[in-house]
């Protein structure tokens, strides 16, 4: 019968291929060819309802797979059965072609395959034996091959392994936001798998075993045998913590700082893993899209519940996002934003690891190069020379140096993302300890800051986040009573403003109680009860050293543990803290830091015989005012009318006690400076130009000078002082 022709051709081609098949040694590509042909044969047999042929072909296919995977000990016997199978298929094929059916018996043949591939139980036993063999092999190999077990390799593994663990943490947090995202699961599975692989080569048993256990757990998630729950995430987070501890310990040992022998309690962890693997999936704890929408404030809990009902009752069932859109509760944009928030993945980038010391040295040297280059350019010999070629080369030198400086500085800039993620993790742990329900939202994670600042700001940030969770966020009962969602929110936000990077930590807790702070401050004799203070000034009292230690105040005010320490740390970085708070709505602490600790764009100004550098980012405007825009109002002080705004005038020469060239603003120049939350006019004699300057520390004795943030060596080799607008404003106010 014609319809069996193609089937016969396939069987014949398998038979002729087998003639060239080496039956002692598996030829992988040839085996692949067989598998593909068998697959096609199965399909065709199914279409023709040739059930027995299909069963034989499927049996052969799985037999061959087992041979390829080396799961069959006696390969030759395996190939023998395979050959018999081909003959049997030819027989069935012939019979089908001639009679349209096949009445022969295939059961004894199927039995011979089953004997070879073994029953289920026997097979898994074999697998265990095999993997034990693998372990034995790796042990043996670890001991004998010193060449791959060299120190630098181990060092590489430690650095890369720790990076991978960071990546795992990031992706775990992403997964918690979006439990159904398989990409996230894969992104966590993969690093565990890689760590396990290398640890196997390096004979690091403990790491290998733990990574293997965690990998298995994730594999179950991948295969939908386990659901993502916060319990699961907790376990994996704890597992990666232990893994990290083992690797760090390895690092310490290698660096010759033997630490206490690590007591790792992997047994409890293993028990937890076992229990979650066996236990019923815990769907209640799974975090869903709807929750994210509630967190975002897009919908209320009631909206969500109604939406869920609609979603379930719809035929066919809708997804919650669709249901909410169709109910008109959210816009498609809000849903897609929430989805995007969930799926945001860690960005993989190609990187070279460099010792930070080398980088710092490079940036320092480039700084010196810029200055030297600038000195050469302004050398009188160069300035007066008429050689065009020399002039051209000098200007080329300066453009190359400034490009070099830009690039080298950017090398040290890193996104704040990782810091934020560490904070998110912290909030998660803290809220669990405090028994509160607190979520985290981050914004501006890609904002870049100087690498050297990352560590410096870490402790102050931890402190503030801790305060936000411990004291800022109110208890569930209080929140419900105040009509707020039960779940508290901590918001971390980073952005650039002027030459600063601003990091905001907000909570939607009970806010700072102005009156309580005021009362305590008077009690502590920090202020006088008759003082007229703005809200800002009152909030800033919590940074006073004596204030913050009183635990009672802390409880009432909701803030304050060790805030003086935070303030000192921030100021050390030339940073500032601002507080904004509304009672019962929450508080925002904004930390502003200079973008980089190395260079600023400066405007060089002259006052009398002195020169100063003003950070360009702080300058809003330069102008020579008309006489009529100058005002001197009793009690309010001197002002200049700048486009309708009366801004206070600050006479720089008065602050630094120098003899100016001009005293009348309309003869001099006015620089409109922006401080933290106000602008003022700075009176100077002349603008000399703009220059990029490398900040040099003034040394310990001058560090506390107000109004000056540092020194810089200028192009002509002279030193200029860099002005700090906010400090100048405060100085001018204290001078009256």
Nearer to another protein (CB atom), residue 98 or residue 127: 127
Residue (25 or 105) nearer to another protein, CB: 25
Instruction: Specify the residue, 107 or 348, whose C-beta has the smaller distance to another protein.
Output: 348
Q: Which is nearer to another protein, 139 or 396 (CB)?
A: 139
Q: How many chain residues are in contact with another protein, going by CB under 8 A?
A: 44
CA 460/CA 480 separation, integer angstroms: 31
Catalytic entry in 44, 169, 215, 295:
215
693 sits near another protein (criterion: CB under 8 A): no
Interface residue with another protein among 4, 102, 109, 157 (CB under 8 A) is 157
Q: Which is closer to another protein, CB of 161 or CB of 625?
A: 161
Tell me which H or E stretch contains 568. helix 563-572
3-state secondary structure of 420: helix
Q: What Cα–Cα distance (Å) separates residue 575 from each residue in 505, 569, 593, 726?
A: 15, 9, 4, 11
Q: CA 232, 237, 238 angle in degrees (round to 5)?
A: 100
> In 203-229, which residue ranges form alpha helices assigned H by DSSP?
205-222
Q: Given candidates 91, 94, 126, 160, which one binds another protein under the rule CB under 8 A?
A: 160
Environment class of residue 359 by beta-carbon count within 10 Å: exposed (0-12), middle (13-18) or buried (19+)? Answer: middle
- d(Cα 620, Cα 498) in Å, to the nearest integer? 10
74, 119, 123, 156: which one contacts another protein (CB under 8 A)? 156
Minimum separation from the CB atom of position 211 to another protein (A): 11
Q: Cα separation of 339 and 184, whole Å?
A: 13
The DSSP bridge pattern shows strands 599-607 and 686-696 to be antiparallel
Contact present, 396 and 404 (Cβ < 8 Å): no
Minimum distance between the CB of residue 59 and another protein, rounded to whole angstroms?
15
Closest distance to another protein from the beta carbon of 513 (Å): 50
Give the nearest distance from C-beta 467 to another protein in angstroms: 38
Which tokens is 578 given? Answer: 């601002």
- Rounded-to-integer distance, Cα 245 and Cα 263, Å: 10
- CA dist 622 and 601 (Å) reads 16
In the bound complex, what is the minimum distance in angstroms from residue 408's beta carbon to another protein? 24
| Minimum distance of another protein from residue 77's CB (angstroms) | 21
Q: Of 38 and 438, which has the nearer Cβ to another protein?
A: 38
CB of 20 to another protein, least distance (A): 11
Say whether 215 is catalytic.
Answer: yes
Select 200 or 725, whichever has its Cβ closest to another protein: 200
The interface with another protein within residues 353-412 (CB under 8 A) comprises: none
Cα distance between residue 443 and residue 456, in whole Å: 21
Is the C-alpha dihedral spanning 223, 226, 228, 233 positive or negative? negative
Nearer to another protein, 190 or 574 (CB): 190
Cα 643 off chain centre by: 44
Is 463 among the catalytic positions? no
Q: Is 452 helix (H, G, I), strand (E, B) or coil?
A: helix
Site map (CB under 8 A) of another protein, residues 13-52, x = contact = ------------x-xxx-xx--xx--x-------------
Catalytic residue among 467, 500, 692, 726: 467
What is the nearest approach in angstroms of another protein to the Cβ of residue 154? 9
- Cα 14 → chain centroid: 54
- Crossing angle between the packed helical segments 230-254 and 151-177, to the nearest 10 degrees: 160
Residue of 13, 145, 343, 631 that binds another protein (CB under 8 A)? 145
Please state, in angstroms and rounded to a whole number, the distance separating the CA atoms of residues 464 and 706: 26
> Is the Cβ–Cβ distance between 189 and 215 less than 8 Å?
yes
Which of the residues 181 through 240 are near another protein (CB under 8 A)?
187, 189-190, 193-194, 196-198, 200-202, 212, 215-216, 219
8-state DSSP, 724:
-
Out of 1, 148, 702, 719, the residue judged to bind another protein by CB under 8 A: 148
Chain residues 56-115 in contact with another protein, contact rule CB under 8 A: 65, 68-69
Site of tokens 């704040």: 416
The answer to whether the peptide bond before residue 336 is cis (omega within 30 degrees of 0) is no
Q: Which of 193, 437, 463, 496 is catalytic?
A: 193
Cα–Cα dist 63/58, whole Å: 8
Based on CB atoms, which residue is closest to another protein, 183 or 663? Answer: 183
Q: Is 131 in the site for another protein (CB under 8 A)?
A: yes
140 is catalytic: no
Residue 239 Cβ, how far from another protein at the closest point, in Å? 16
Q: Does position 147 bind another protein by CB under 8 A?
A: yes
Strand partners, 679: 674
Residues that bind another protein in the complex, under the rule CB under 8 A:
25, 27-29, 31-32, 35-36, 39, 65, 68-69, 130-131, 134, 137-138, 141, 145, 147-148, 153, 156-157, 160-161, 164, 187, 189-190, 193-194, 196-198, 200-202, 212, 215-216, 219, 348, 350
Q: Among all residues, which ones are annotated catalytic?
A: 193, 215, 467
């Amino acid at each position: 019968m014609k319809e069996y022709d193609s089937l016969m051709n396939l069987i014949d081609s398998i038979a002729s291929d087998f003639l060239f098949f080496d039956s002692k040694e598996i030829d992988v590509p040839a085996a692949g060819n067989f598998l593909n042909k068998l697959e096609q044969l199965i399909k065709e047999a199914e279409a023709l309802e040739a059930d027995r042929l299909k069963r034989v072909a499927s049996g052969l296919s799985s037999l061959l797979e087992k041979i390829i995977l080396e799961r069959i000990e006696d390969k030759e016997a395996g190939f023998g059965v395979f050959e018999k199978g081909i003959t049997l298929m030819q027989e069935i094929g012939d019979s089908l072609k001639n009679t349209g059916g096949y009445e022969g018996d295939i059961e004894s043949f199927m039995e011979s395959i089953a004997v070879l591939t073994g029953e289920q139980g026997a097979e898994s036993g074999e697998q265990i034996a095999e993997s034990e063999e693998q372990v034995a092999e790796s042990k043996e190999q670890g001991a004998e091959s010193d060449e791959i077990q060299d120190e630098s390799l181990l060092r590489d593994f430690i650095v890369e392994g720790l990076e991978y663990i960071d990546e795992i943490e990031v992706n775990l947090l992403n997964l918690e936001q979006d439990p159904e995202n398989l990409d996230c699961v894969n992104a966590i599975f993969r690093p565990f798998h890689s760590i396990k692989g290398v640890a196997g080569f390096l004979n690091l048993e403990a790491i290998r075993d733990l990574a293997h256990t965690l990998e298995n757990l994730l594999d179950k998630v991948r295969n939908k045998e386990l659901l993502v729950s916060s319990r699961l995430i907790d376990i994996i987070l704890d597992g990666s913590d232990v893994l990290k501890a083992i690797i760090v310990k390895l690092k310490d040992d290698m660096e010759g700082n033997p630490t206490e022998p690590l007591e790792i309690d992997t047994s409890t962890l293993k028990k937890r893993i076992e229990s979650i693997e066996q236990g019923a999936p815990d769907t209640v704890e799974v975090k869903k899209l709807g929750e994210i929408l509630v967190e975002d404030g897009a919908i209320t809990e009631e909206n969500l519940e109604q939406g869920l009902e609609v979603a379930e009752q719809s035929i066919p069932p809708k997804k919650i996002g669709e249901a909410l859109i169709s109910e008109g509760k959210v816009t498609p944009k809000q849903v897609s934003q929430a989805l995007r928030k969930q799926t945001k993945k860690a960005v993989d980038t190609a990187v070279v690891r460099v010792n930070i010391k080398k980088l710092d040295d490079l940036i320092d040297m480039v700084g010196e190069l810029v200055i030297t280059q600038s000195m050469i350019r302004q050398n009188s010999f160069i300035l007066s020379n008429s050689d065009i070629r020399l002039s051209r080369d000098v200007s080329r030198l300066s453009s190359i140096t400034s490009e070099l400086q830009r690039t080298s500085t950017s090398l040290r800039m890193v996104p704040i993302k990782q810091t934020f993620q560490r904070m998110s993790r912290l909030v998660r742990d803290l809220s669990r300890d405090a028994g509160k329900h607190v979520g985290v939202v981050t914004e501006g994670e890609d904002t870049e800051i100087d690498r050297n600042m990352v560590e410096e700001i870490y402790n102050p940030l931890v402190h503030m986040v801790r305060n936000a969770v411990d004291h800022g966020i109110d208890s569930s009962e209080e929140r419900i009573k105040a009509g707020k969602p039960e779940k508290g929110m901590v918001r971390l936000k980073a952005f650039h403003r002027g030459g600063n990077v601003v990091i905001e930590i907000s909570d939607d807790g009970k806010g700072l109680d102005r009156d309580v702070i005021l009362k305590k401050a008077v009690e502590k004799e920090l202020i006088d009860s008759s003082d007229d203070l703005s809200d800002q000034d009152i909030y800033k009292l919590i940074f006073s050293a004596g204030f913050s230690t009183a635990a009672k105040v802390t409880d009432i005010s909701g803030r304050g543990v060790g805030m003086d320490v935070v303030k000192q740390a921030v100021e050390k970085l030339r940073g500032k803290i601002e507080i904004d708070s509304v009672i019962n709505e929450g508080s925002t602490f904004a930390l502003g830091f200079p973008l980089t600790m190395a260079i600023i764009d400066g405007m060089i100004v002259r006052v009398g015989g002195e020169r100063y550098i003003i950070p360009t980012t702080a300058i809003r405007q330069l102008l020579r005012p008309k006489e009529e825009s100058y005002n001197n109002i009793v009690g309010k002080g001197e002002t200049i009318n700048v486009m309708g705004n009366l801004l206070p005038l600050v006479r720089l020469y008065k602050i630094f006690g120098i003899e100016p060239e001009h005293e009348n603003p309309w003869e001099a120049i006015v620089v409109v400076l922006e401080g933290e939350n106000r602008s003022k006019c700075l009176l100077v004699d002349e603008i000399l130009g703009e220059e990029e300057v490398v900040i040099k520390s003034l040394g310990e004795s001058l560090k506390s000078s107000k109004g000056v943030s540092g020194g810089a060596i200028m192009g002509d080799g002279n030193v200029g002082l860099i002005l700090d607008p906010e400090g100048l404003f405060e100085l001018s106010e204290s001078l009256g």
